[in-house]
Structure formats: C-alpha cells, structure tokens
Structure 1
C-alpha cells in the first residue's frame, strides 16, 4: 500500500506541476457551459423571435393586402432596411415578384403565381425563406376559407378528422436541445480533461527515460499502471465535476419561458449524473493510456490518442438517429450512459439497475485494459518502443 501511495503522489505531482498544461486540459470544462448558454440563447431566439426579413419586392403595389399581411409577420420591404444591415440583406438577395395581373386574377378566382427568388443552398437564407413560405401559405388559406364561407360552405368540412395531441412528457423533456448538449459535453469532458496527463505519464515518461527507471524498481507493474490510471482519471473527474457545476449555473441565464420549458439541475440529479460518469472517466483514461503505450513516440501518441475523442462525440448522434435501438446498447460504455442521461434530463425516474449494469460493464472493460497493459509493460518492445 505504501508503494502505491508513493506512486500515486508522484503521478499527482507530475499532473499538477505544469499549471498552464492543466488549464488547457480543463479548458473543455470551462468552455462547455459558456457554449451551452450562448447556443441555447441563439436557438431560442431563432425559434421564438421573428427578426425582420428584408425582401426586394417587384409589383408590391398590385397586392396591398398581401403586403400588409407580410408586414405583420415582420417581412419588410428592402426600402425600409437600416443602413447597417443593407450589405447583409443585399448579399442574401431575396426577391419576390408579384404579377401585374394579381388584382384581376384574385377577382376572377384564378391561381396567382408569386415568384420567390433566392439562393436556396445558402444556410443564412433558409430561415427567411421558410418564414416567407409560411406567411404566404397562411394568407392563401385565409382567402380560400373566406371564399368558401361566401358560398355557404362550412370550412370545417375540410377537416373531417382532427387529431388532438396530449403531451405526457415531463416539463424538463421539452428542452431537448440543452440536455443533448450537456450530455455530450459531460462525456467529452471525461475524455478530454485527462488526455494530456495520460499521454505525458505514458509516452512522455518513456521518452524521458522515467518509465524504464520506474520499472527497474522493486514495484509491481500493476501498481504503476493503477497509479497512472488514477492520476489521469482524477483530472477527468475534476473536469466532469466542473462541467456539472458550471452548466447548472449557466443554464440559469437562459430564458426558457419563451418556449414554455423548464430546466433545473438540482443536487440529486447532479449527483446521479456524476456517479454515472465516474466509470467513464476511468474508462477514458484506460483507453488513452493503452493507446499511448502502443505508440512509438510522444508525437505519435498525441495523434493516436486524440482520435479517441471522436468516440463520445459520435456515439450520442448515432443513438439520436436510431429509431429502434438494440437492447445491448444499454450495456455498452458511453451508449448506455448517454441513454440514461437522456432519461435523467427528461425527469424520468432513475433506473438504478440500468446504471449498475452499464457501470459494471464499463468497469469490467477498464479492468481488462489495465490487465492487458500490465502484461504489455513487462515486454521490452513496449517499454523501449521497439518495432
């Protein structure tokens, strides 16, 4: 026990020695809450608010009622644009052509073709175009309903069957976007925070000849591996804890009432997430140590281990795209935690059996990696980075 304690203290001194490198390692924990807050505000503003859209109209004088309807929807004439926004909307170049026969065709009950010209491949143009389509469709429907009423036709005949939706989700489930981002950033924090420590304590120590000297001591190889694992995992745990605390604070600055949603990350929910992510921190560090020791140099280790970060970023999006998820995904590391976090954010009752199951599988895989790495460090090829 005394040997392991000495090794652990040595790893902690190495990890906390370079304050600048430590800050870079924990940068994800500090940046994630800010990104969550900013992105949430932007998405809510786009979803709820209706910022002005400036359109170049031709033939606007032929359709005064249509123009009045568009103005109510904050779809304005290009002539009303402020000088500071003129360059932006001139580049987007959204044009609506109203035919000269608009009034006569409207009186005759003919179909009127209003032409909308824009670069539909431009992402900045897509939201304004969508609003224009909705506004003109609503205007067209209102005229159609009025014509039917004038002819004595009950417009309710157009909708013989009406589907009434009753949302049974918890209030927290309405804000899916924040929960997805938070879950993703928390898992990524577990992988990114301890990354530099894991590389330095493996490939870095091998290049500095510290590893060879350490293995020459009368110390168990297993204790050396466990000390390195605990050193890197501790930084990962700190990163996850920071993301949890700072995210709960940053979400408070987002006005969710605009979309009728509520979100809170209380102590119980935060503790549940922390316990759920704890095995992931050790799993991530074990994977990074394992890959770093296989590399032939420090630079190669950096390139190889950095690819591991793609796993936590890729898995949640794959799960989101799957309609029918296989049952075995509940047991797989990262996938199992992602699914449980989704339920936690929705306010669904926590299934502790599922947490124990996926945590048990994660710990078992971590233990397997530690055992394999322990055996590999007894090989001269791994220690000396020989081909």
Structure 2
C-alpha cells in the first residue's frame, strides 16, 4: 500500500505540475456550459420568435391576398429587405413563383401551381422554406374551406376524426434537448479530461525513459498501472464534476418557460449521475492507457487515443438511430450509461439491477485492460517500444 501511495502521489504531482495540460484537460468542463447555454438560446429563439424572412417573389402583383397572408407570417418580398441584410438574403436566393393566371384559376376553382425554389440541402434555408411552405398551405386551406362553405357544406365534414394528443411525459422530466447535450458532454468529459494525463504517464514517460527507470525498482507492474489509472481517473472525475456543476449553473440562465419546459437537477439525481459515471471514468482511462502503452511513440499514442474520444459521440448517435436496439446495449459500457442517464433526466425509475449490471460489466472490462497492461509491461519490448 505504501508503494501504491507513493506511485499515485508521483502521478498526481506530475499531472498538476503541468498547468497548461491541466487546463486543456478541463476544456470540456468549461466548454460544455457555454455550448448548452448558446444552443438552448438558439432553440428557444427559433421556436418562439419569427423574425422577418425575405424571398424573391415573382408575380406577387397577381395574388395580393396571398402576399398579405405571407406578410402576416413575416415573409416579405426581397424589395423590402434592409440594405445591411440584402447581401445575405440574396445569397440564400429563395424564390417563389406565382403564375399570372392566379386570380382566374382561383375564380374558376382550379388548382394553382405556386413554385417554391431553393437549396433544400442548405441548413440555413430549412427554417425559411418551412415557414413559406406552411404559410402557402395555410392560405390554401382557407380558400378550400371558403369554397366548401359557399356550397352549403359544413367544413367539419373534412375532419371526421379529431385526434386528442395527451403527453404522458412526467412533469419532473427535464428538457429533452438539454438532457441529451448534458449526457453526451458528461461522457465526453469522462473521456477527455484524463486524456493528457493518460498519454503523458504512459507514452510520455517511456520517451523520457522514466518508465524504464520506474520498472527497474522493486515494485510490481500491477501497482504501476493502477497508480497511473487512478491518477488519470481522478482528473477525469474532476472534469465530470466541473462539467455537471457549471452546466447546471448555465441552464439556470436559460428561460425554458417560453417553451413550456423545465430543467431541474436535484442532489439525488446529481449523486446518481456521479455514481453512474465513476466506472466509465475508470474504463475511459484504462482504455486510453492501453492504447498509449501499445503505441511506439508519443505522437502515435496521441493519434490512437484521440480516436477513442469519438466513442461518446458515436455511440449515442447510433442509439438515436435505432428503433429496436439489442438488449445487450442496455448494460454495455458507454451505451448503458447513456441510456440510464436518459432515464434519470426523464424522472423515470432506474432499476437497481440494470445499474448494477452496467457498472459491473464496465468494471470487468477495466479489470481486463489493467491485467493485460500489467502483463505486457513485464516485457522489455513493450517498455522500450521495440515491438
């Protein structure tokens, strides 16, 4: 135990000594609240506000009523755009073509072809396209209802079924998009915060010949690996705690009531999240140490370990694309933690069995990685990067 404490103290001191690397390790903790705050503000603005949109309208003089309806929905012709914003709206080049026989076709009761032309693949255009489309469809429905009423037909005949939607989401459930972002950022924090320590204490020490000198001492390779693992995990846990605290503070400055949403993170949920993320912090650090020890150079270790950081983003994305996911994903590392975090944020009860199995499997994977590393460090080829 004395040897382990000495080794652990050495690793922590070396990690703290490099202030720049330490600040870089906590980048995710400071970046996550900013991203959550900015994206939440943008989501609220897009959902609540309807700023003026300007499109190239050809033939607007043939349909004054339609033009008024578009204006009521804050959609205006390009001629009304301010000079400061003119270049931006011309670049978007969203066009609406109204045929010259609009009024005649309207009186005759025939279909009218209004053309909406734009780059549908451009993300910046999608909100404007949706607004123009909805406005034209709304005007079309009004005309259709008026035609039916003029013929003495009740417009209710067009809606034989009235669907009443009831949201079963619990009042305690948090805002979905914030919960999704926070879950991913917490996983990223577990993988990113201990990254620099894991690389420096493995591949870095090998290049500085510190690892060779350390293993020449009367200490087991298992204790060396465990000391490095606990040091990297400690930094990772600090990063996760900072991410959780700062993100919760940042959300407090977002007025979610405009969307009819709330975000509450009580102490019980916060503690549950930390208990859930402790095994994943160990697993992330063990995985990074494993790949760093197997790399021949420090640069190669950086490249290999950097790929691992993609896992907290790729796995939740893959889960969101699955309608019927396999059962084993509920307790596999990363995916299991992510799914449990979803339930915690929703306020759904989390089964102790699922939590135990997920944590146990993650710990098992960590133990296997540690044992393999301890065995490989007994070989001079690995220590000296000869193979």
Structures share fold, TM-score greater than 0.5: yes
Deviations 1:91-136 (A, max 9, x none): 1122222222212221111211222222333222221111111110
Tell me, in whole angstroms, the C-alpha distance in 2 between the residues paired with 1:325 and 1:144.
44
Structure 2 unaligned residues grouped into runs of 5+: none
Counterpart of 1:154 in structure 2 is 154
- Cα 1:106–1:174 shift into 2, 3 Å: farther
Counterpart of 1:168 in structure 2 is 168
Q: CA deviation at 1:311?
A: 1.1
Counterpart of 2:143 in structure 1 is 143
Q: CA deviation at 1:174?
A: 6.5
Counterpart of 2:46 in structure 1 is 46
Confirm or deny that 1:190 pairs with 2:190.
yes
Counterpart of 1:266 in structure 2 is 266
Counterpart of 1:245 in structure 2 is 245
Tell me, in whole angstroms, the C-alpha distance in 2 between the residues paired with 1:297 and 1:355.
38
Say which is worse superposed, 92-101 or 167-176, in terms of deviation.
Answer: 167-176
Could you tell me the TM-score, scaled by structure 1's length? 0.97
Tell me, in whole angstroms, the C-alpha distance in 1 between the residues paired with 2:172 and 2:243.
19
Counterpart of 2:91 in structure 1 is 91
Tell me, in whole angstroms, the C-alpha distance in 2 between the residues paired with 1:231 and 1:56.
61
Q: Secondary structure at the match of 1:124?
A: helix
Q: Secondary structure at the match of 1:96?
A: strand
Q: CA deviation at 1:293?
A: 0.5
Tell me, in whole angstroms, the C-alpha distance in 1 between the residues paired with 2:53 and 2:356.
52
Confirm or deny that 1:22 pairs with 2:22.
yes
Structure 1 unaligned residues grouped into runs of 5+: none
Q: Secondary structure at the match of 1:243?
A: helix
Confirm or deny that 1:376 pairs with 2:376.
yes
Q: How does 1:1-387 map to 2 (within 5 A)?
A: 1-171=1-171, 173=173, 175-387=175-387
Cα pair 2:174 2:264 within 8 Å, conserved: no
Query: Which contiguous aligned blocks of 4+ residues in structure 1 show a shift greater than 4 angstroms?
Result: none
Tell me, in whole angstroms, the C-alpha distance in 2 between the residues paired with 1:202 and 1:221.
13
Tell me, in whole angstroms, the C-alpha distance in 1 between the residues paired with 2:358 and 2:95.
55
Q: CA deviation at 1:236?
A: 0.3
Cα pair 2:296 2:386 within 8 Å, conserved: yes
Q: CA deviation at 1:159?
A: 1.8
Deviations 1:139-189 (A, max 9, x none): 101110111111111112122222222111123546221111110010011
Q: CA deviation at 1:250?
A: 0.6
Could you tell me the TM-score, scaled by structure 2's length? 0.97
Tell me, in whole angstroms, the C-alpha distance in 2 between the residues paired with 1:241 and 1:210.
31
